[in-house]
Structure 1
Amino acid sequence: MEKPRPIDRNMFSRMGEGLPVGSDARSVRRRVEALEHLLERLFVVPGLPKPIGADTLLGLLPVGGSFVGAAFGAYMVWEARNLGMSKAQMARMMGNVGVDWLLGLIPLVGIIPDYFFRSNTRNLRIIRRHLDRHHPESVTIDG
C-alpha cells in the first residue's frame, strides 16, 4: 500500500509539461502512461488500499462522467491503433473500455466498479506488452 502524500498544489499545472507530441513509440508510451496515471492513480486517499484517479472521480457525475471516462479510454485505443497493434488487441481494449462504461452508468454504485476494474490500467498493460515486444527501444526506466 502506498503511503499517503500531501497534495501538491502545482500538480495540475505541471501535468502536461514534457509530454511529447511525436508519433514514435517512445512518445506514445509516455503519453499513454501519463494518461493512465491521471485516470487511475492521481492521488492516494488515506485508508484506501489503492490510489484514486480522475476516472473514479468522473463516476460521481451522473451519466456524463461515464461518457467522458470512455472517451479517454477510446483515446488510448486510438494511440494503440497508431502503433499498429492487432485488431484483436484493440478489440480487447475496447471491451475493457465498454465494460467500464457500462458499469459506470449505474447511478452511485458505478463508482465501485470504476475503482476496482481499472480498464485504463488493463489497457496500458496491453500496450506495454506490445511496445516491449515490437519497440524495445521505447522502454524507459523510472527514476
Structure 2
Amino acid sequence: MITDKHFQRLERAERLARLMDRAFRVPGTQIRFGWDAIFGVIPGIGDSVALLPSLYIIGLARGAGVPLSVLLEMAWNMVMDWFIGLFPLVGDVLDIGFKANIRNARLLRTYLEGARTA
C-alpha cells in the first residue's frame, strides 16, 4: 500500500533531482543545468562525486518499494550519465541534455502513482 511516506520520498527525490539537473538556466535560453554538470567539469572526480546524489535517489526509490526492474532502469540511467560525463567537453554538453536524476525521479513518480491507483 502506498502511503504519504512514499510520496515524501518522492518529494525528496524530485527536489534533489532538480538541484542536480535543473537548478540553473543559461541566460537568454531555455537550457537548464544543475550541480551534476558543474561537478562534471572537474576532470576525473567530478562525475564520480555526482554519483552520490544519484545513488541517494535510487535508495529513496528502493525504500518506497519500487520493483527491481525499475531500480535497474534507474541504475542504467545513472551509469549512462556517469559514462557520458567521462568525455571532456562533449560529455559535459551531452550530460546537460541527459538529466539522469530527473529521469529517475519520473520513474519513481510513475511507479508510485500507478501503485496508488492499482
Q: By the TM > 0.5 criterion, same fold? A: yes
Name the SS for the 1:24 alignment partner.
helix
Q: Distance in 1 between matches of 2:60 and 2:84?
A: 24
Counterpart position of 1:96: 77
Aligned residues: percent identity? 32
Shift of 1:26: 2.4
Out of 49, 63, 70, the position equivalent to 1:82 is 63
Out of 26, 32, 36, the position equivalent to 2:17 is 36
Counterparts in 2 of 1:115 and 1:55: CA distance versus 1, 3 Å: same
- Stretches of structure 1 that go unaligned for 5 or more consecutive residues are 1-22, 137-143
Name the SS for the 2:90 alignment partner.
coil
Kept in 1, the 8 Å contact 2:37–2:95? The answer is: yes
Name the SS for the 1:96 alignment partner.
helix
Shift of 1:61: 0.7
Out of 117, 122, 125, the position equivalent to 2:98 is 117
TM-score after normalising by structure 2: 0.89
Task: Choose between structure 1 and 2: higher helix proportion.
Answer: 2
CA RMSD in angstroms comes to 1.5
Kept in 1, the 8 Å contact 2:10–2:60? The answer is: no
Instruction: Tell me the alpha carbon deviations over residues 66-118 of structure 1, each in whole angstroms, 9 at most, x when there is no partner.
Output: 00112211111111110111111000000000001011111232201111111
Q: Distance in 2 between matches of 1:108 and 1:51?
A: 17
Count of aligned pairs between the two proteins: 114
Question: Which one has more relative contact order, counting CA pairs under 8 Å at least 6 apart?
Answer: 2
Counterpart position of 1:140: none
- Stretches of structure 2 that go unaligned for 5 or more consecutive residues are none
Q: Distance in 2 between matches of 1:80 and 1:61?
A: 28
Worse overlay, 79-88 or 45-54: 45-54
Amino acid at match of 1:70: L
Amino acid at match of 1:64: I
Amino acid at match of 2:34: G
Question: Does 1:72 find its partner at 2:53?
Answer: yes
